[in-house]
Amino acid sequence: MQPVMSYSDERPVDTLIVKIYGQHSGEFNLYEDDGVSLDCQKGKFAWTPISFLKRSGDKSEIAIGPAKGEFQGQTAKRAYELKVYGIPQPKVVKLKKQLLKENGSDVDRWAWDNEKSFLTIFVHETDIKKTVKLTIE
**What mean pLDDT is predicted for residues 111-119?**
96
Q: Which fold has domain 15-136?
A: Immunoglobulin-like (2.60.40)
Mean residue pLDDT of the chain comes to: 91
Q: Is the pLDDT of residue 12 over 90?
A: no
Q: Is the pLDDT of residue 50 over 70?
A: yes
Q: Is the pLDDT of residue 91 over 80?
A: yes
- C-alpha span between 74 and 63 (Å, rounded): 20
* Cβ atoms < 10 Å from Cβ of 130: 12
